[in-house]
Amino acid sequence: MKRWANTGTGPNPAAGERQQGRRGAAIRRNLPTAGLLLLLVACWELACRIFEIPPQQLPAPSAIGRAFFENFTILAVQARASLAAAGAGLLMALLLAVLLAVAMDRSPLIKRFLYPLLVISQTVPIYALAPLFLIWFGLGLFSKVVIVSLVCFFPLAVNLVEGLEQVDPEALELLRTMQAGPWLVFRSLQLPSVLPYFFSGLKIAVTYSVIGAVIGEWIGARAGLGVFMLRSLHAFKTAQVFAAIIAVVLLSLLLFKLTELLAWLAMPWNRAGRNNIEEE
């Protein structure tokens, strides 16, 4: 196996250099965004000081920063609880989405019945249903997992269904003339064709998952960033609310970047540069 285990970047010596160049370009591309953000924060800080806005109403960025670092350990503990709900919900959504997408791909009848239901399910305001889940499933982790999975299910399922629809019929025919079995067809054609669609769905789903978990905790939970937010709000510690918001943003960004990394790892053919070999 080892002899063939080339990931494809091997024969392309320029790839390393290009990688470095791309990273530099990425930093340069993000520079304006970072500058703008910094400018806004500076204006905010100045406004709070000049107009002497009460910190309960709108804390200055410096106060928020202080609150973030003072409560860092608590925030980390609460973030772990939220992350558990988000992760478990995401996993459940993924399982459900894959099962349904494969079923819909196999049977047009199932698709005709289920697909409209899927869309309708998305028009139901899940956050409004959340209190009901609390009644049904209790204050524990499970009610949060249900909320998260309902929120994340849709982007995953829709993208998977679409990805399976886009599998090249000519390629399927080609495999039939080789008399390839269903497992080989899945492994060599369907799965790789679906991956880009799957990852666009997953990118949306992971960001939804943290928000879903926080809202679930808001409505009722024993731990989590949502609980921390609510407690801080009731104690008029507005800076802590903002600190929790920062934690939510960081957590979502982290999951998003992790998904991008996963996509990069899962699809090595996308990063193999074009070599533009001439005819020999």
Partner 1 sequence: MKPKLLLENISATYTAGAEPLPVIDALSLHVAPGEFVSLLGPSGSGKSTLLKIAAGLIRPERGRVFLDGREVTGRPARVGYMPQQDLLFPWKTLLQNAALPLLAAGVPREAAYSRVMEMLPVFGLERFAHYYPNQLSGGMRQRAALLRTILVESGLLLLDEPFAALDALTRDKMRDWLLAIWEQFKRSVLFVTHSIDEAIYLSDRVCMISARPGRIILDQPITLPRPRTRQITNEPLFLEYKQKLFASLEE
| Residue 275 lies near partner 1 (rule: CB under 8 A) | yes
| Residue 4 lies near partner 1 (rule: CB under 8 A) | yes
Residue 157 CB, nearest approach to partner 1 (Å): 23
| Residue 278 lies near partner 1 (rule: CB under 8 A) | yes
Pairwise CA distance, residues 275 & 280, whole Å: 14
Segment lying near partner 1 (by CB under 8 A), choices 2-10, 64-72, 96-104, 243-251: 2-10
Pairwise CA distance, residues 48 & 65, whole Å: 14
Question: Residue 165: what are its φ and ψ, rounded to 5°?
Answer: -65, -30
Pairwise CA distance, residues 18 & 31, whole Å: 20
| Residue 52 lies near partner 1 (rule: CB under 8 A) | no
Q: Helices 72-106 and 108-123 sit at what angle, rounded to 10 degrees?
A: 150
Q: Which is nearer to partner 1, 17 or 280 (CB)?
A: 280
Residue 22 CB, nearest approach to partner 1 (Å): 18
| Residue 265 lies near partner 1 (rule: CB under 8 A) | no
Going by C-alpha positions, the residue among 141, 144, 158 that lies closest to residue 204 is 158
- 270: number of Cβ within 10 Å: 11
Say if CB 156 and CB 170 are below 8 A apart.
no
Radius of gyration of the chain (CA): 24
| Residue 6 lies near partner 1 (rule: CB under 8 A) | yes
Pairwise CA distance, residues 247 & 131, whole Å: 24
Residue 107 CB, nearest approach to partner 1 (Å): 21
| Residue 13 lies near partner 1 (rule: CB under 8 A) | no
Segment lying near partner 1 (by CB under 8 A), choices 46-54, 128-136, 183-191, 256-264: 183-191
**Residue partners of 143: CB distance under 8 A and separation at least 6:** 130, 133, 134, 136, 137, 216, 220, 221
Q: Which is nearer to partner 1, 28 or 274 (CB)?
A: 274
Q: Which is nearer to partner 1, 12 or 121 (CB)?
A: 12
Residue 276 CB, nearest approach to partner 1 (Å): 8
Segment lying near partner 1 (by CB under 8 A), choices 140-148, 151-159, 186-194, 249-257: 186-194
Q: Which of 16, 54, 138, 273 binds partner 1 (CB under 8 A)?
A: 273
| Residue 200 lies near partner 1 (rule: CB under 8 A) | no
Pairwise CA distance, residues 268 & 270, whole Å: 5
Site residues (CB under 8 A) for partner 1, limited to 149-168: 168
| Residue 19 lies near partner 1 (rule: CB under 8 A) | no
